[in-house]
Amino acid sequence: MSKEYRKDPEVVSRLSPQQYHVTQESGTEPPFRNEYWDSEEPGIYVDVVSGEPLFASVDKFDSGTGWPSFTASIEPANVVQVDDSTLGMVRTEVRSAHGDSHLGHLFDDGPRERGGLRYCMNSAALRFVPLADLEREGYGEYRRLFDGADGG
């Protein structure tokens, strides 16, 4: 990766109240009432704060939870896992490495045939980049993920 990703205070100041609550205050948006929970459009999801690439639609699945769920990250170095015991139980929080945004949580109840992981993310922490816009927005290297996939 040649692009430098970072937490940009100017971008943070332009976040919607929901985006700020989720990414900066480790909040959670309502299930089934968020932008990407049922989206099937091909493309990638990047951190709304830093722009670092996180997930691809080819790894997205319907978990039935009402939040966008993925089986893997497209750039494992961009995803940090942190123990979270805020609700009286230990969960694994997922944060972006460079933007330090709260993204959601990681669970081990994903599709077994795809590794068994479920990255349960908040739409408010993500920005979707459609497949057709990858090159124009500087994410052209991720087009390879869609070779042979529907929509690619």
Tell me the C-alpha distance between 40 and 111, whole Å.
Answer: 17
Q: Strand 102-107 and strand 126-130: pairing?
A: unpaired
Return the amino acid letter for 85: S
Strands (E), 19-130: 43-47, 53-56, 60-61, 69-70, 79-84, 91-96, 102-107, 118-121, 126-130
Tell me the C-alpha distance between 135 and 129, whole Å.
Answer: 10
DSSP string, 91-120: EEEEEETTT--EEEEEES-S-GGGTS-EEE
Active site (annotated) includes residue 120: yes
Could you say which of 120, 125, 126, 145 is catalytic? 120
Count helices and strands (H / E) in the chain: 2, 9
Active site residues: 120
